[in-house]
Amino acid sequence: MNPATLVAGLAIAMLAAFVLVFFVLAPPAPRVASDRRRAPGVEHVSALSRAAERTTAAVENAVSKRSRRAFGPEELELAGIKTEPGGFLVLIGSAASVFALVGVLLGLSNGTSFVWAIVLAIFAPVGAKILVILRTSKRRERFAEQIDDTVQLVAGGLRAGHGLSRTVSAAASDTDAPMSEELARVVNETRLGRSLADSLAVTAQRMRSDDFEWVAQAIAINQETGGNLAEVLDRVGKTIRERNEIRRQVKALSAEGRLSAIVLIALPIVIFFVLLILRPTYFAAFFLNPIGVLALIAAVVLLIVGSIWVTFAVRVRF
């Protein structure tokens, strides 16, 4: 082992421990309130905040010039992440740097620091992508569960004599997220001149909800033909409730298959990293031999294909 590498690793580890203790674990020193030390109307911004803002602005400026983004504003909004794309990329880069440092420290004993650094650094963007996908899926599921109550709320407002736009605006205030966020978006679009039916249809497409698309179509047809919209929404709400009951039954019956899929996908990954930590020399031949590298690439490709196949096999759509 190179002594210089060991000294550098220990220095970085001590610096990280110092930062953790000083900025996180240590109790804050008593100090005078900042508003008593500042002139009225002057906002104080720390050097760290300014550096973070400049870094985020630089990344956002560089990313905005690209037509395709790995984490665009629409994707983050669907996931319910209240962060600008530039700031999110800065967080991913910071996490990748920390993971790479951990990989360097883990590989100091056997000379595999570079391999560990690359493998762990890849976890940051891959994990961020998986996090965005999972949060988007959960958000859409919560949205689908709120449609029934929202339809009943809108129908009740119409029976009370309120207009459709006023009722939708009230529903945006009374419901929980993500329904409140999506309805607030619809209200803002209608204020800018877009028709309510079109805004609801776009929301249904964004959230990939067939039930909400029925609601949008019912409102659009009623605006063209007239009639009792509250009664129409009651019938649509009844159909949505029946579909939700069937959906919950299907979810309960397919729970065993979904759990089996999770185990089958996670098992080889967990075993690989456990052996890589406990027996690092076991996989040394794979990393140092071209044939071993090709075998690892083939294993990753087969794992991805198998994961996709198992995921679609246990997914029930109706």
The string of pLDDT tens digits covering residues 105-123 is: 877 766 667 777 887 888 8
In this predicted structure, what is the pLDDT of residue 143? 93
pLDDT, mean over the chain: 78
Q: Percent of the chain having pLDDT more than 70?
A: 76
Contacts of 175 (CB under 8 A, 6+ apart): 146, 149, 150, 153, 183
Q: Report the share of the chain in percent with pLDDT over 90.
A: 14
The pLDDT of residue 42: 47
Three-state secondary structure readout of 90-152: HHHHHHHHHHHHHHHHHCCCCCCHHHHHHHHHHHHHHHHHHHHHHHHHHHHHHHHHHHHHHHH
Q: Which burial class, exposed, middle or buried, applies to 80 when counting CB atoms under 10 A from its CB (0-12, 13-18, 19+)? A: middle
pLDDT band at residue 79 using 50, 70 and 90 as cut-offs: confident
Residue bearing the bigger pLDDT, 152 or 292: 152
Do the beta carbons of residue 206 and residue 139 sit within 8 Å? no
Q: What's the pLDDT at 26? A: 44
Tens digit of pLDDT for each residue in 87-100?
788 888 888 888 88
**What is the band of 25 on the pLDDT scale with cuts at 50, 70, 90?**
very low
Q: What gap in Å lies between CA 207 and CA 19, rounded to an integer?
A: 42
Instruction: Tell me what the mean pLDDT of segment 119-143 comes to.
Output: 89
State which of 22-26, 182-186, 282-286 shows the largest mean pLDDT.
Answer: 182-186
pLDDT category of residue 55 using cuts at 50, 70 and 90: low
pLDDT of residue 58: 58
CB-based contacts of 55, cutoff 8 Å, min separation 6 = 90
Q: What is the mean pLDDT of residues 25-36?
A: 49
